[in-house]
Amino acid sequence: MSKQVLMVTGASKGIGLATVLAALRAGYQVVGTSRNSDTLCQAVENAVPELAEHFTAVAMEFDEASIARAVAEVKDRFGRIDVLINNAGYAVLGAVEEFSAEEVRANFEVNVFGLLSVTQAVLPIMREARGGHIINLASISGTLTGPAQGIYSATKASVIMLSEALREEVRPFGIQVTAICPGGVRTDFLDNRSMRTPERSINAYRVVQQTMDSLDDLNHNQSGNPQLLAKVIIDVASMDDAPARLYCGRSALRGLETKLGEVLHEAKEHSALGLSIDD
């Protein structure tokens, strides 16, 4: 039996690269996408030279034509895609008012529409095979948010909702869908070269600047280990009955518990008003 084929988007660094390496060690035939496939190949060769023959890098941008070409290339070469891990994405931080529509669209283009386009390109392959697993990297930020995080959180909330709806739609085809929702993980995600801020700055939003300062202090000091998260992702990929959502890390679980408590308390406190719309 041929190796299962696992495809990771945004594979050149951070969680994406860690997931590629974990998948190779788990015995998958791995495909990683990146804007620079040569750099990605070199990173894998340096990390696991003994497994590099089981890795293929595919250059891919986040437009529909590039995505279609990349997925077709994988299908032509291997004839299958058993696991898709939608990891590509980036953070934007700033006050909601500060962002231009173009800046917001750009974040959604990668974090949501890019993920959607890759998924739509891969689904016919999985439906024909009557099986597969789509794992979408969301975030605890898709469940709870705060100052400076509104736009990024909106993209990740979209990923979670898309994942849950898709999960029910493709269940009859034997396809699973899981949204992975990590808390803080030690990568370069919050570095200036990775994270983006709006061009416009409004000094009145002191709470936003305070949040940005706190995140800067947290950067590279998060409790989450990217290698351990990658192992969890690969463990989920092999599960026969994987969860719809998996919250990963202490910060994610604590945040989830707090948020659920706040939502339920507020709903009960104002239930009479909320229920007054029913005849």
Per annotation, catalytic residue among 28, 90, 152, 205: 152
Q: Please report where in the chains the tokens 């699973």 appear, as a residue.
A: 176
| Average per-residue pLDDT for the chain | 94
Cα separation of the two ends of the chain: 60
Q: In which region does residue 234 sit, left (phi positive, over 0), alpha (psi from -120 to 50) or beta (all else)?
A: alpha
pLDDT 10s digits, 122-178? 999 999 999 999 999 999 999 999 999 999 999 999 999 999 999 999 999 999 999
Residue 258, phi then psi, degrees to nearest 5: -65, -45
Predicted local distance difference test score (pLDDT) of residue 185: 79
pTM, full prediction? 0.94
- How would you class 34 by CB atoms within 10 Å of its CB: exposed for 0-12, middle for 13-18, buried for 19 or more? buried
Per-domain residue ranges for the chain? Answer: 5-251
Residue 132, phi then psi, degrees to nearest 5: 150, 175
Higher pLDDT, 22 or 211: 22
Predicted local distance difference test score (pLDDT) of residue 223: 67
- Is 90 tagged catalytic? no
- How would you class 226 by CB atoms within 10 Å of its CB: exposed for 0-12, middle for 13-18, buried for 19 or more? buried
Q: Is the separation of the CB atoms in 31 and 122 below 8 Å?
A: no
Assigned fold of 5-251: Rossmann fold (3.40.50)
Q: Residue 36 is encoded by which pair of tokens?
A: 């620079």
Identify the band that residue 238 occupies on the pLDDT scale cut at 50, 70 and 90.
Answer: very high
HSE, side-chain direction, 13 A CA sphere, residue 221:
6
Which of 80-94, 199-213, 251-265 is predicted least confidently? 199-213
Q: What percent of the chain has pLDDT over 70?
A: 96
Residue 178, phi then psi, degrees to nearest 5: -135, 135
Predicted local distance difference test score (pLDDT) of residue 145: 94
What mean pLDDT do residues 30-37 have?
95
1 pLDDT higher than 60 = no
Which of 102-116, 121-135, 187-201 is predicted least confidently? 187-201
